[in-house]
Amino acid sequence: MNAAGLNSRVIRPDQLRDDEIAAWEDLCDAHQHLHSPFFSPHYAMAVASVKPGVRVCILRRGRKIVGFFPFQYRSSASQLLGSAERVGAEMTDYFGVIAEPDVRVAQEDLLRLAGLRYLYFTHLDETQSSYGLHGEQPESGLFLKLEGHEDYWNGEVRQRNPKLYAETNRLERVAEKTYGPLRFCFREEAWQEPLELLIQNKRRQYAQTCSNDALAQPWHRNLLAQLAATRGRTCTGVLSTLYAGDTWLASHMGLHSGQVFHYWFPVYNTEMKRFSPGRLLEKWIIQHAPGLGLRLLDHGAGDTQRKRQLTNSEHLYYRGDWHRPGVRGTACRISQAAQWRFGFNLF
């Protein structure tokens, strides 16, 4: 397929050649706006291992690879219609093309290159506008930038929010006095049992708070397991735990790429709620981050007071849908509108 001076090849992630994976990772490494582990080929391959319908559109200018565009079909019916969504769907915190900075492609041309009629998305980062890709309904995302803050907790947090600093340290001392010394592990190598503990407690938390269960679908849970075992150059699964003596306080499943750590699925022991165990775990991650070479903790979408207490920078995400003219594109838009309004998708 040719459009916008580009040609394309659409394949499954397991059909990527070693040189194509290397080219993809080189793009992620070379450009700051692509440092998120959700842009990594290893993330797309992890999703494809647990969810059918994942595809990658390889973009070339002449013979040179200049970009990649991963996406997925929700079902076989949506594939027939040419209707897609971001790879990983609700599990994914970044969406867009992974490309050289000089690539410019209109949204309709990108769909044509990918063989699509319609695509619904959220989490389009503001930096994707440099490629010519745009969305609507902006939503804030928050960062903690650690560059120049080698001891962020005892420096900026202590100065900016002395009450939070003092209370967190006090709760830590009480927890240690009551249950024993705190034990923190940034990355559990034997991750199977800690992951099961996280999933069980996270789903219980969703039920208790009447929240949408992000782990209800089996493939979502299987994706966490696949990522926990992933050790890619641009995407490594990280399951962190915090104990007081032998008492479990909190866990977190995140993703690591270079100097970026994506804060993703935290959960805490509700019986230990009086100690604010989730905050204690985040404190330990923040304190260990510089020594692990991390310079940015990405908290994803959502702007809450709790997040702002431990972040110092923000950006914007966008949502929306792109479509090409025609009957199939219109049918897909109607289906998506039905999902928004009535909670179900026709395809």
**CATH no. for residue 205?**
3.40.630.30
Q: Is residue 58 part of a domain?
A: yes
300 and 90 Cβ atoms separated by less than 8 Å? no
Residue 147: pLDDT band by 50, 70, 90 thresholds? Answer: confident
Statement to judge: residues 44 and 118 lie in one domain = yes
CB atoms within 10 A of CB 122: 19
Question: pLDDT by residue (tens digit) across 248-304?
Answer: 999 999 999 999 999 999 999 999 999 999 999 999 999 999 999 999 999 999 888
Whether residue 309 is contained in a domain is answered as: no
Q: Could you tell me if residue 24 is inside a domain?
A: yes
Q: Assign 120 to helix, strand or coil.
A: strand
Structural domain contains residue 281: yes
Number of domains in the chain: 2
CA distance linking residue 302 with residue 261, whole number of Å: 17
Residue 170 shares a structural domain with residue 286: yes
Owning domain of residue 197: 148-294
The answer to whether residue 304 sits within a structural domain is: no
Kindly calculate the radius of gyration of the chain based on its CA atoms and give it in whole angstroms.
21
Do 110 and 196 belong to one domain? no
pLDDT in tens, 58-93: 999 999 999 999 999 999 999 999 999 999 999 999
C-alpha–C-alpha distance, residues 149 and 290, integer Å: 8
Quote the pLDDT of residue 84: 98
CA 294/CA 317 separation, integer angstroms: 23
Q: Is the domain of 134 the same as that of 208?
A: no
Domain assignment present for 229: yes
Residue 307 within a domain: no
Query: Are 33 and 128 members of one domain?
Result: yes
pLDDT band at residue 339, thresholds of 50, 70 and 90?
low
Q: What is the rounded distance in angstroms from the CA atom of residue 314 to the CA atom of residue 299?
A: 10
Rounded CA-CA distance 301/44 in Å is 20
Which CATH number fits the domain that encloses residue 322? 3.40.630
Name the burial class of residue 270, with classes exposed (0-12), middle (13-18) and buried (19+) by CB atoms within 10 angstroms of its CB.
Answer: exposed
Is pTM beyond 0.85 here? Answer: yes
